[in-house]
Chains A and B, each alone.
Chain A
Amino acid sequence: MTLEIGITSIIAGLIGGLFLALIRLYGSGPVPFVAKIYIDVFRSIPLLVLLIVVYYALPFVGIRFSPFVSAVVALTLVSSAYTAEIFRAGIEAIPHGQFEASQALGLSGRHMMIDVILPQAIKIVIPPLTNNCINVLKDTALASVVAMPDLLKQATQAQALSANPTPLIGAALIYVALLWPLVSIVARLEKRFGGEKRS
Chain B
Amino acid sequence: MSPLIQITNLKKAYGIFTVLHGINLDIAEGEVVCVIGPSGSGKSTLIRCINRLEAFSSDSSIVVDGVTVGPGKALAKVRAEVGMVFQSFNLFPHLTVLKNVMLAPMRVRGTKPADAERKARELLARVGISEQAEKYPGKLSGGQQQRVAIARALAMEPKVMLFDEPTSSLDPEMVGEVLDVMKKLAGTGVTMVVVTHEMGFARQVADRVIFMDGGRIIEQGTPSEIFDNPKEERTRGFLRAVLNH
Bound form: Cα–Cα A149–B153 in Å: 59
Answer whether residue A107 sits at the interface, using C-beta atoms and an 8 A cutoff. yes
Answer whether residue A106 sits at the interface, using C-beta atoms and an 8 A cutoff. yes
Q: Is the CB of B156 within 8 A of A105?
A: yes
Q: Is the CB of B79 within 8 A of A98?
A: no
Bound form: Cα–Cα A197–B156 in Å: 29
Kindly identify which residue among B53, B77, B92 contacts A116, using a CB–CB cutoff of 8 Å.
Answer: B92
Answer whether residue B49 sits at the interface, using C-beta atoms and an 8 A cutoff. no
Give the total of B residues in contact with A, Cβ under 8 Å: 28
Bound form: Cα–Cα A199–B152 in Å: 18
Kindly identify, within residues 101 to 118 of chain A, every residue whose CB is under 8 Å from any CB belonging to chain B: 101, 103-108, 111, 115-116
Bound form: Cα–Cα A120–B138 in Å: 14
A contact patch SS: helix
Kindly identify, within residues 62 to 93 of chain B, every residue whose CB is under 8 Å from any CB belonging to chain A: 76-77, 79-80, 82-84, 86, 88-93
Give the total of A residues in contact with B, Cβ under 8 Å: 20
Residues of A within 8 A of B (CB): 95, 97-98, 100-101, 103-108, 111, 115-116, 119-120, 123, 197-199
- Please give, as numbers and ranges, the residues of chain B lying within 8 Å of A106 by CB-CB distance: 76-77, 79-80, 104, 108, 156
A104 and B53 in contact, given A98-B92, A198-B136 (Cβ under 8 angstroms): yes
Q: Is the CB of A199 within 8 A of B93?
A: yes
15 contacts between A and B (CB under 8 A): A95-B90, A97-B89, A98-B92, A100-B53, A100-B86, A101-B84, A105-B79, A105-B156, A106-B76, A106-B79, A106-B156, A107-B103, A111-B107, A115-B103, A197-B138
A97 nearest CB neighbor, chain B only: B90
